[in-house]
Amino acid sequence: MPTLNLGFLASHGGSNMQAIINACKSGQVDANPCVVISNNSDSQALHRAKNEGIPYYHISTATHADGVDDAMIEAFEKHNVDVIILAGYMKKLGDKVINRFKGKILNIHPALLPKYGGKGMYGKFVHEAVLMAGEKVSGPTVHIVDIVYDHGRILAQKEVPVYPDDNVDTLSARVLEQEHILYPETIQKIANGEIVL
């Protein structure tokens, strides 16, 4: 099987992206991180790309007012990307990009979808909702991106306990730790054909 070429979209820290890059470098994941795109010129994700020697682009409505989607598609195609990895990308992806890479775009969400997903459910809002509902378990979900927020086919999930004295910070840290394991594992299953996109 040819090596899977990965393209990343990230807005801020990019810790999931880094976990995947590390797993590729160690051989745990048989894939090539090829390009990183961020809407945020000062994102840690772009700094990480630079440190890793991975080509990176700042693409946003500020830089490409007349065509964010086209600019993204051009960059992903230039680097022969097979699968797009959303890693904390805070913008809604354009329909044009979703259609061009239909079924080949992954996202990680910090709760057990289909619960606690949808518009407005991101970052601390997700964990707040989980805590408010008194859930006993939470955990990340890797899913395919389609035109509806947090809606596409679920590929993998990992449960973590929610403790009575948890707050948003303790719960999000526990979930994020598992994200860093689940995302590379899932990409490897795609790379070895165990999961077919």
- Confirm if 113 and 152 have CB atoms less than 8 A apart: no
- Contact status: 176 vs ligand GRF (CB under 6 A): yes
Q: Is 166 in the site for ligand GRF (CB under 6 A)?
A: no
| Interaction of residue 150 with ligand GRF, rule CB under 6 A | no
Does 143 help bind ligand GRF (rule: CB under 6 A)? Answer: no
Single residue of 87, 130, 145, 162 touching ligand GRF by CB under 6 A: 87
Q: Establish if 13 lies at the interface with ligand GRF (CB under 6 A).
A: yes
Instruction: Give the range of 23-31, 52-60, 105-113, 131-139 binding ligand GRF by CB under 6 A.
Output: 105-113
In this structure, are residues 4 and 80 in contact, taking their beta carbons and an 8 Å threshold?
Answer: no
The number of beta carbons lying within 10 Å of the beta carbon of residue 93 is: 20
CB 95 within 8 A of CB 147: yes
Going through 10-147 in order, the beta strands assigned E by DSSP cover 31-38, 56-58, 83-86, 105-109, 137-138, 141-144
Q: Which residues are catalytic?
A: 109
Q: Residues interacting with ligand GRF, by CB under 6 A?
A: 10, 12-16, 87-88, 108-110, 140, 176, 179
